[in-house]
Structure 1
Amino acid sequence: MFKTLRQLAVASLLLPYALSLHAEVINSLPSKVQHALKANKISTQSLSLVALPLNGPGNSMVFNADVSVNPASTMKLVTTYAALELLGPTHQWKTEFYADGPLKDGILHGNLYLKGGGDPKLNMEKLWLLLRDLRANGVRQVTGDLVLDRSHFVQPTLPSFNDDGGDSNKPFLVAPDALLVNLKALRFIARAEGGQVRVAIEPPIANIRIDNRVKVLPAVSKCPGWPDVRYNPTTTVDGTNVIVSGSLAEGCSSQTYLSLLDHPSYAAGAIRAIWQELDGSIQGTDRLAEVPKDARLLVRAFSPDLVEIIRDINKYSNNTMARQLFLSLGAQFRDEVDGDDAKAAQRVIRAWLARKNILAPHLVMENGSGLSRAERVSANELAKMLQAAWKSPYAAEFMSSLPLVAMDGTMRKRLHRTPLVGEARIKTGTLNNVRAIAGYSRDSNGNSWAVVAILNDPRPWGASAILDQVLIDLYRQPKLK
């Protein structure tokens, strides 16, 4: 009996090694992926691919795995997974109002301070609730200034990025800030009604003036999906002027999001607009300063948990929120030697990966979002990180943040009418010369894989079909007997 148990114990110890001896590593691309590359006139050397079985049999696929490549937004996987483990899934950010004077009969005799804590999701609803709380705590009028404290981050000096060199007012280009309000987005709504076009702006910030030159056209049976309404902003010392031109058919409407103001102007403008709606007043001016040590806390608001934040980042590839999170990692673990919070985040993430025995000589992180020409990683490094995340206590939280194929996020419109619907959770990445996917997929036997496919090419046309083919081939594993 003892001998039998000992033999079983030895066999159980040797089983993983026996499996690894029989497993193969495939160092070539699947034939249909090669065909898709050739059909789109893209070299096979432009593609890096790693697919690793996680919980069942299968041959790993490895091709150009240790080449330094630009990962585009798949870099967000590094930032969000690191944040889950280093900050914790229940981490929250706080935003606070302070006063430096007495409050009597609804009048704050002094200055009102707003201290930002780097909240990536301080939207208009949250700001409105925070100001409602301030109102409920007895503040109606402020005799002093509105003072913004943006000192939570030690901001890095990074190059600006605009992939196509076009409109620099696009919301996805918004830089991070300790007091980021509503992603600094302005919503312009134009509507043709009663023979004239009305243009509204939300939030209604006072120092933005509209010069409405939109012409009304006769009503049509179906409003166009892309109305001819154009916005041309100019900034002066008195504020921002926006010339709205083009045409709009009677009964039709147009909606556009722009980022026109700097962070302090937007935050102060939004606060004043909401405060006025709540029948409040601030008599002083807007300025920047840190909250005095003897100031009194009036109200405080907390962000959603980190789990909700990373879901927004990965599902919809939100660059600004990812950059906020990256700097938040730096601010949390800042050291005197770092210089700024981006350098601190880089140091902390490298140390965290080293503790997992993941050496990443190709990894270059600039802002943690992938919206960069400098950021680099290898497919092998990213796949090893996904493999580690699979074993993490927070694996479920991390995986649920990724887009479901053919169902939501940036994968919502891909791979319909295939067996992969809902079977894979894939983060996408897109720059002018980059197309990438990374995440988890199940095969036809129900086993899970970590997969990374990154295409760097001057003309990556048809890349989505190529990367989708990678997932299809991965799904079509031989049936287990």
Structure 2
Amino acid sequence: MIVSRRFVLGGGLSAAATGAGAEAPLTSIRPRARLPFRGATAQIIAAAGLSGQVGCVLADLATGESLARVAADLPLPPASVAKAVTALYAMDALGAEHRFETRVFADGPIENGVLNGNLILSGGGDPNLVTDQLAELVDRLAEKGLREVRGDFLVWDDALANLDEIDPTQLDYLGYNPTITGLNLNFNRVYFEWKKAGDSYSTGLDARSEKHQPPVTTARMRIVDRESPVFTYRTQGNVDEWTVARRALGNGGSRWLPVRNPALYAGEVFATFARTAGIVLKPAKVHGAEPAGQVLARYRSVPLDQMMRGMLRYSTNITAEAAGLAATQMLSGQQRGLRTSALGMARWASDRAAIAPTFVDHSGLGDAARVTASDMVQLLTAEGIAPQLRPLLKRIDLLDGNRKVIRNHPGLVQAKTGTLNFVSSLAGYVRTASGRDLAFAFFGADLEARAAGKALGGEAPRGAAPWNRSAKALQQRLLQYWIKAS
């Protein structure tokens, strides 16, 4: 493990001294030799004995003064900490009040409740659209008196660049690696449920959300007798065809599976509600041209800052990717592929804080991304960043040795976590017991163990869970030491 003995002042680092947004002037201060953070931080990391590599930086938020640096310039995968950068990037490009719109168009006249033309469900890139909101759109059509559509029922999904999946190195059946398009539904996942019934199983696939769970036919499941793999996937026309190994099912259970034809999935769900409302529609078809005509109904998402708060709390990959793609599209004036869009976000971060990260997506799912702890802290402490980002970050509980929450702890941690197998990251802000505000970044990874686990093809390779628990325990020791020692 490499330990830097240098105290280095951060550059361009005026930031908020408190959560209320008060800013301190740019200051150049000589390191205070009595501060214990440097040596103790290195000792805590070394004593943990975590395999692989760890990079860690701690800085004073008000001044940018570097308090501790351990392998500070070592590039490591940020995992979902990348979403903190995505939130800043998207809000800078689109504005905190930006809302994604899903609309329903009529491209012909409506007479006596009959549309003599096509009905078009038009996605606006909303990554958080759910089944209940499609039901609301149908209700609005019914309220307008629509009863029949003589033309086609079309779905349009080209508001954003379409991605088959976020990271092609991930397993096909992982629900957090979905397709991304301009028309997304239920985070582009379908709910698979099974229950043992005698010697066989009853199964179901549906598009459930809080109020509704309509069955779907755009995905199908078949149970087969085999040892492995657990799932297989192929596209058959416009249908997601899945098989599952009988031996993996047990007595019953459920899981979310990714949807690879989200526009038709959304179209089928919309048509189901339309039939219930007495509106006659033909089966959905994908529409190639941007819709035009009369807008009959629309659904607007929550403002972007609220969406980003939810993304950072629940670490939803599709939200990060859609927001990042939309931001790049706004800044460049045209659609960009995922890698090009991620490069644009890296350039934005470089311009914003004079850093040099490598991103391959906007969610951190791809493990080829690399960020140093030093660069992450330089961004966190750059002028104007903390007042914008800090209120969006999740409060991180401080835990005792038994992993129980410490009630009424005098410190406050607001940060973004990141977890992949054999990768654990955490970055954000700390308010210490004395009221001092700090910024920090912790990146840990055992890249050899991760590569070996991926080569075996399992969802949870042996050793990954205890490694990640050890990394999180190390983060807790560091946080609690910093809070107490300041």
Of 402, 405, 421, the residue aligned with 2:393 is 402
Report the CA distance shift for 1:68/1:349 in structure 2 as closer, same or farther (over 3 A): closer
Post-superposition offset of 1:436: 0.8
Match of 2:453 in 1: none
Post-superposition offset of 1:415: 6.3
Report SS of the residue matched to 2:97.
coil
Post-superposition offset of 1:274: 2.3
The answer to whether the 8 A contact 1:96-1:116 is kept is yes
Where do residues 325-340 of structure 1 align in structure 2 (5 Å cutoff)? 325-335=323-333, 340=337
Post-superposition offset of 1:191: 4.8
Match of 1:343 in 2: 340
Post-superposition offset of 1:98: 1.0
Q: Does 1:381 align with 2:364?
A: no
Post-superposition offset of 1:315: 0.9
Of 81, 88, 100, the residue aligned with 1:81 is 88
Of 60, 70, 82, the residue aligned with 1:63 is 70
C-alpha distance in 2 between matches for 1:243 and 1:339: 34
Match of 2:479 in 1: 471
Q: Which runs of 5+ in 2 are unaligned?
A: 1-24, 208-214, 450-463
C-alpha distance in 2 between matches for 1:171 and 1:421: 38
C-alpha distance in 1 between matches for 2:322 and 2:203: 32
The answer to whether the 8 A contact 1:406-1:422 is kept is no
Report SS of the residue matched to 2:485.
coil
Match of 1:309 in 2: 307
The answer to whether the 8 A contact 1:169-1:260 is kept is no
Match of 1:270 in 2: 269
Where do residues 223-302 of structure 1 align in structure 2 (5 Å cutoff)? 235-237=235-237, 239-240=239-240, 245=246, 254-283=253-282, 285-293=284-292, 295-302=293-300
Post-superposition offset of 1:288: 2.6
CA deviation vs aligned residue, 1:288-317 (integer Å, no higher than 9, x gap) = 322354x22222211111122112211111
Post-superposition offset of 1:102: 1.6
Match of 2:149 in 1: 142
Match of 1:34 in 2: 46
Q: Match of 2:86, as an amino acid?
A: T
Q: Match of 1:35, as an amino acid?
A: A
Post-superposition offset of 1:22: 3.6
Report SS of the residue matched to 2:310.
helix
C-alpha distance in 1 between matches for 2:128 and 2:303: 10
Of 30, 54, 58, the residue aligned with 2:61 is 54
Of 172, 177, 189, the residue aligned with 1:185 is 189
C-alpha distance in 1 between matches for 2:404 and 2:62: 24
Match of 1:360 in 2: 355
The answer to whether the 8 A contact 1:48-1:379 is kept is yes
Match of 2:216 in 1: 205
Match of 1:169 in 2: 173
Report SS of the residue matched to 1:436.
strand
The answer to whether the 8 A contact 2:156-2:263 is kept is no
The answer to whether the 8 A contact 2:54-2:442 is kept is yes
Post-superposition offset of 1:123: 1.2
C-alpha distance in 2 between matches for 1:331 and 1:284: 31
Match of 2:412 in 1: 423
Match of 2:22 in 1: none
The answer to whether the 8 A contact 1:429-1:437 is kept is yes
Q: Match of 2:236, as an amino acid?
A: T
C-alpha distance in 2 between matches for 1:374 and 1:113: 39
C-alpha distance in 2 between matches for 1:352 and 1:417: 35
Match of 1:9 in 2: none
Q: Which moved more, 1:340-349 or 1:118-127?
A: 340-349
C-alpha distance in 1 between matches for 2:283 and 2:191: 27
Report the CA distance shift for 1:236/1:84 in structure 2 as closer, same or farther (over 3 A): closer
C-alpha distance in 1 between matches for 2:34 and 2:27: 13
Identity of paired residues, percent?
Answer: 23
Aligned residues between the structures: 426
Q: Match of 1:453, as an amino acid?
A: F
Match of 1:12 in 2: none
Report SS of the residue matched to 2:263.
helix
Post-superposition offset of 1:324: 0.6
CA deviation vs aligned residue, 1:312-354 (integer Å, no higher than 9, x gap) = 2111111111011110101212246x85475356436624652
Match of 1:432 in 2: 421
Report the CA distance shift for 1:422/1:115 in structure 2 as closer, same or farther (over 3 A): farther
Report SS of the residue matched to 1:190.
strand
The answer to whether the 8 A contact 1:441-1:449 is kept is yes
The answer to whether the 8 A contact 1:155-1:341 is kept is no
The answer to whether the 8 A contact 1:186-1:202 is kept is yes
Post-superposition offset of 1:125: 1.6
Report the CA distance shift for 1:19/1:418 in structure 2 as closer, same or farther (over 3 A): farther
The answer to whether the 8 A contact 1:405-1:415 is kept is no
C-alpha distance in 2 between matches for 1:58 and 1:325: 32
C-alpha distance in 1 between matches for 2:354 and 2:163: 25
Report the CA distance shift for 1:207/1:172 in structure 2 as closer, same or farther (over 3 A): closer
Report the CA distance shift for 1:383/1:35 in structure 2 as closer, same or farther (over 3 A): same
Where do residues 114-153 of structure 1 align in structure 2 (5 Å cutoff)? 114-153=121-160
Q: Match of 1:178, as an amino acid?
A: G
Post-superposition offset of 1:51: 0.7
Report SS of the residue matched to 2:127.
coil
C-alpha distance in 2 between matches for 1:443 and 1:373: 32
CA deviation vs aligned residue, 1:365-412 (integer Å, no higher than 9, x gap) = 2211111133222111111111137x44xx45632332222389xxxx
C-alpha distance in 2 between matches for 1:157 and 1:243: 20
CA deviation vs aligned residue, 1:86-122 (integer Å, no higher than 9, x gap) = 3222111111111222212222122111221111211
Post-superposition offset of 1:262: 1.8
Report SS of the residue matched to 2:429.
strand
The root-mean-square deviation of aligned C-alpha atoms, in Å, is: 3.5
C-alpha distance in 2 between matches for 1:159 and 1:210: 23
Q: Which runs of 5+ in 1 are unaligned?
A: 1-14, 215-229
The answer to whether the 8 A contact 1:123-1:182 is kept is yes
Report the CA distance shift for 1:318/1:208 in structure 2 as closer, same or farther (over 3 A): closer
Match of 1:222 in 2: none
C-alpha distance in 1 between matches for 2:484 and 2:157: 52
Q: TM-score, normalised by structure 1?
A: 0.77
Report the CA distance shift for 1:401/1:187 in structure 2 as closer, same or farther (over 3 A): same
Report SS of the residue matched to 2:340.
helix
